[in-house]
């Protein structure tokens, strides 16, 4: 892997244009280059994120917040001319984060982003978008987002690893996903994908109404589970099933508090939105 270090956090508007203009698959191999960047944490932005995602005030950053810090770097990587797949068609299938140490007392972090693990899938091909966050002591947090690009033809057997539905869970809480949550989350995350913003823009991409961001669903779930979960040495792995249509209401089921457990986010008529589990980092 070759690494390119950025002098500043990428400016998003030109990257949106790049994403909007690229609609074709231009290759079937992932680039061998990753991006690195130093980022500063703005307490006002963290506070706005907490409010949108339901996290209470704390000296420790929300476990999903490094995704927000890394978003511009991820966008730059995925809209680069040597990246073979159009960003707007990608579907987020899985997300796993590992919190190695408590995310407290940090003001500046180093972020690295690369892609790996391109594999055939029944609907196209999947790859992992890998993000690592370091502070002055070393590795602090890492994430893998498994992305699907439809229509890619690769040699080999297609596999699709679905997580089984949890068994030992009870209802913990429920919440509403309001009609404007896609726009509110876009303002704190920078992710203005049209499928999340309004019914009108979602219809352009084949959705009958706007859908909630997958990472908002995950963040809102972790906010509801915050009393349940250890602050560090934890891996939280979720699979995104059916999208949450806006406006909507969801129910969170989870195991009893502990170092490992399962979670299940369901909607009306028992529709599965998220299946997940947490456990100590192996």
Calculate the alpha carbon distances from 98 to 105, 113, 163 in Å.
18, 15, 18
Give the mean pLDDT of 79-85: 96
pLDDT in tens, 270-281: 999 999 999 999
Q: Closest Cα partner for 239 from 127, 164, 129, 167?
A: 164
The pLDDT of residue 204 is: 87
More confident residue, 257 or 108: 108
**In the block, which residue shows the tokens 């508090």?**
257
CA–CA gap between residue 145 and residue 95 (Å, rounded): 4
pLDDT band per the 50, 70, 90 thresholds, residue 67: very high
Domains of the chain: 1-161 (3.10.129.10), 162-282 (3.10.129.10)
Percentage of the chain modeled with pLDDT above 70: 100
- DSSP class of residue 243 equals -
pLDDT in tens, 185-235: 999 999 999 999 999 999 988 889 999 999 999 999 999 999 889 989 999
pLDDT in tens, 238-261: 999 999 999 999 999 999 878 899
- Length in residues, the chain: 282
What residues form DSSP beta bridges with 237? 96, 277
pLDDT in tens, 140-157: 999 999 999 999 989 888
The pLDDT of residue 187 is: 96
The pLDDT of residue 161 is: 76
Q: Closest Cα partner for 278 from 210, 229, 208?
A: 229
């Amino acid at each position: 892997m070759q690494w390119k270090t950025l002098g500043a956090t990428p400016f998003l508007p030109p990257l949106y244009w790049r994403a909007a203009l690229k609609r074709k698959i231009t290759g079937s191999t992932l680039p061998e280059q990753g991006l690195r960047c130093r980022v500063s944490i703005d307490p006002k932005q963290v506070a706005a994120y907490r409010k949108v995602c339901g996290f209470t005030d704390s000296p420790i950053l929300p476990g999903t917040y490094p995704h927000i810090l890394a978003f511009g770097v991820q966008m730059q990587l995925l809209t680069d001319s040597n990246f073979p797949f159009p960003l707007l068609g990608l579907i987020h299938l899985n997300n796993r984060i590992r919190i190695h140490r408590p995310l407290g007392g940090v003001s500046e972090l180093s972020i690295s982003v690369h892609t790996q693990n391109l594999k055939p899938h029944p609907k196209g091909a999947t790859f992992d978008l890998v993000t690592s966050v370091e502070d002055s002591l070393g590795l602090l947090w890492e994430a893998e987002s498994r992305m699907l690009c439809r229509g890619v033809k690769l040699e080999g057997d297609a596999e699709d690893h679905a997580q089984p539905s949890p068994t030992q869970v009870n209802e913990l809480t429920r919440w509403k996903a309001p009609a404007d949550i896609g726009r509110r989350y876009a303002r704190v995350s920078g992710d203005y994908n049209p499928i999340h913003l309004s019914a009108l823009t979602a219809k352009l991409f084949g959705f009958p109404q706007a859908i909630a961001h997958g990472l908002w669903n995950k963040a809102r779930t972790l906010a509801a589970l915050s009393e349940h979960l250890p602050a560090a040495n934890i891996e939280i792995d979720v699979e995104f099933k059916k999208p949450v249509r806006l406006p909507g209401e969801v129910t969170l089921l989870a195991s009893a508090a502990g170092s490992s457990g399962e979670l299940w986010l369901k909607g009306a008529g028992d529709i599965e939105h998220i299946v997940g589990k947490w456990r100590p980092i192996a």
